Structure 1
């Protein structure tokens, strides 16, 4: 029989024999001694310590475990390898909400950590749709447009990026319509970047830079899990989901530097960097989202390396032309103890990737897209968003850890799922 270790929170300092340690042990129990400066961060780090010592099953106990404290512990305890378990504490309602979070985050974590061989673009679309159908079968319909059929629908960006692979690119269009009324207004449209592997294309990445690129579909996993969490919490709004799925590989069929893509809205884009592919597929998804008439459009993507340089890996960056949208996102992230930070997005950012041959280039011919690369990428995306829509772009700097850290195990973090779920439910 598996022995669960009981873990409690205490505001009492550890006994002197433990020195300055913030975790102490007594028989089959452990105590995390809160220092009061940043409790959630300390709890998550303590969970990592316990997990790294070989503990697999823990039971949380005591009066100090708020829902945020328990979730911080779970996020530190979770790993890419399965076989661990955390038992919640508190009221039935608190435990149910935590179970919704765990179920959604585990789905996203498994998707992001899957090998690129096991998760081609069409499979990403299909698995995401199937999981949401399990949550609300009679409220969901979907279709997957793949391969050359993308050109029939004028989704030129997804097709261009994915045509170099033998495994076809795909766009998932999913409709969560709880009223069943086909004429009901769409309240929210979600868009996720689903690059199941990113070699960089002909602008090829280094081996080190390519190793974690199975996680380049983190945006698709994040918005799917967020919608699933909102559905479990009783979502009554109509939401449409668009996942832009492709492998960015090199072959005789792959897109090349100097190519020009003409988008459905007439915008022409010169390719100056095949490794700036995420914005090319999102451009299709954002146009599809705009066509729904939804007043709120949210997209998530592991889009730029520049954003990691700007905010590190403990924050996700947010961009919006509407200051009130940024404030709402910050408030909602704060409500669920996630971290976001706004970066600049002005109208002139859409002109920061000029081209002598097309309306715009997809980047600048400089390492990382040059100065302000994350904002320039957001400016590029803004060309494809309906002007009267409220729009939030989330660049997921905190979605994946290449190696174990003091806060996270290596792999997907799912940081951002709760924020988007809160925005959906707002």
Structure 2
């Protein structure tokens, strides 16, 4: 006999005077009931809030019961009902295989981001991701890790520069998912993820409060890894490569300094004016790799700028691209996947918004937050390294990927917002 709390959805207003009309969920003798209206977007928000409220009430096991539970309503409930440690048990009303598949990958993504930095350092992140993806398709997945001074030998200057002050060496993980069996098969997409497993800010040192959540600075790497994992589970038939740019941004006598100049593999020189603008320095290597292998499309994800979070809040991811057709496809895909995504400005001239008198460009502006338009300027910096002048490139600044504290929609920690959208883009 199931001891799970039954949860029902009803398409009507409730009239029980014992409960406020604003209550997301009503608990009674038969279980919990969520009363829905005519606006489905608001319904999904209410369902997610209901899941959050039941978690707050201490419900550890729930069963979605009765009619009215389509895929998206069930997924919205699961997002709200997932506690930080992903311990709640949930029985689906329908679509159980697809929902379980999605939930397992998303919870794995969240776990990666929520792990403490003592457990998820550069090599550990690379190892966990490689092992996970190889377990999903052992005969179709291969991987290699380029570590420490090997990065210098292969020309990956950004990752090495940012991570060289840590006793745990920086690394680049390259995963090749090739379902064709042909070693010369075309690479459809390269996914690039920012894998800064802890960000002190370097010599542009963060405050203690600003540093507390910086284990989440590898959220971009976790997101693209989760997206590839979900796409593989869903039967992806295209060759895709994953590149994670992994480092700890720490301080010691060997750390990179303000005023240092990095010469990248493509010959571009970059003056460091803010060591806390390190994510773009490592992503530059990943974007160059994508160009070297001739990928048709490049998608990167990063917890890159506070400016994006200021612009779109914690409810949205921010999208940047100079490829209008691909950007519109990403927006429509996100809408279909019920994930909030908003496009922010990016034009070719944004490349000039981080000038330097001493190098081809700087990695930021020497102002707090990179000055006005900081998120677009960061994307403009990346555009310098994107293949084909940005044709076929999408940049996700994942402002909604982590919450420092719980709210009405999400538990404390990672949300994995963006995994479904990027996975769907891989399938398209």
TM-score range, shorter chain: over 0.9
Does residue 382 of structure 2 align to residue 411 of structure 1? no
For residue 73 of structure 2, what is the aligned residue in structure 1? 69
Within 5 Å, give how 1:145-294 maps onto structure 2: 145-294=146-295
Q: Is the 8 A contact 1:22 1:34 kept in 2?
A: no
How many Å apart are 1:89 and its aligned residue?
1.3
1:112-168 deviation per Cα after TM superposition (whole angstroms, max 9, x unaligned)? 000001111011011001000000000011100010110000000000000010000
Tell me the residue number matched to 2:10.
10
Q: Give TM-score scaled by structure 1 length.
A: 0.98
Aligned to 2:398: 396
SS in 2 for 1:351: helix
Decide whether the 8 Å contact of 2:4 with 2:63 is kept in 1.
Answer: yes
Q: Which residue of 1 aligns with 2:61?
A: 57
CA distance in 1, matches of 2:86, 2:179: 33
Separation (CA, whole Å) in 2 of partners of 1:22 and 1:263: 53
Q: Which ranges in structure 1 are unaligned for 5 or more consecutive residues?
A: none
2:364 paired residue number: 363
Aligned counterpart for 2:49 among listed residues 45, 48, 54: 45
TM-score (norm 2): 0.97
After superposition, give the CA deviation of every residue in 1:255-294 in whole Å (9 maximum; x if it has no partner). Answer: 1101000000011000000000000000000101111111
Alpha-carbon shift at residue 26 of structure 1 (Å): 2.1
Question: Matched residues in 2 for 1:18 and 1:397: separation?
Answer: 35
Q: 1: CA distance between counterparts of 2:113 and 2:97?
A: 24
Q: Tell me the secondary structure at the aligned position of residue 46 of structure 1.
A: helix
Separation in 1 of the partners of 2:257 and 2:66?
59
Q: Distance in 2 between matches of 1:171 and 1:79?
A: 31
What is the deviation of 1:364? 0.1
C-alpha separation in 2, matches of 1:109 and 1:81: 9
SS of 1:247 mapped into structure 2: strand
Matched residue SS, 2:319: strand
Runs of 4+ in 1 over 6 A off after TM superposition: none
Query: Which residue in 1 is equivalent to 2:91?
Result: 87
Task: Please tell me whether residue 373 in structure 1 is matched to residue 377 in structure 2.
Answer: no
Deviates more, 1:59-68 or 1:118-127: 59-68
Superposition deviation, residue 222 in structure 1: 0.2
Identify the range of structure 1 (401-410 vs 32-41) with the bigger mean alpha-carbon deviation. Answer: 32-41
Q: C-alpha separation between the residues in 2 aligned to 1:334 and 1:384?
A: 29
Give 5+ residue unaligned stretches, structure 2. none
Instruction: Return the offset for 1:2.
Output: 6.9
Q: How many residues align?
A: 423
SS of the residue 1:204 aligns to: coil
Could you tell me how far 1:19 is from its partner in structure 2? 3.4
Greater mean alpha carbon deviation, residues 386-395 or residues 360-369: 386-395
Question: SS at the partner of 1:137?
Answer: coil
Moved more, 31-40 or 117-126: 31-40
Q: CA RMSD in A?
A: 1.1
SS of equivalent residue, structure 2 residue 18:
helix
Instruction: Return the alpha-carbon distance in structure 1 between the equivalents of residues 325 and 98 of structure 2.
Output: 28
After superposing the two structures, state which structure 1 stretch, 385-394 or 105-114, moved more: 385-394
CA deviation after TM superposition for structure 1 residue 28, in Å:
4.7
CA contact (8 A) 1:79 1:411 kept: no
Contact kept, 8 Å, 2:24 with 2:47, in 1: the verdict is no
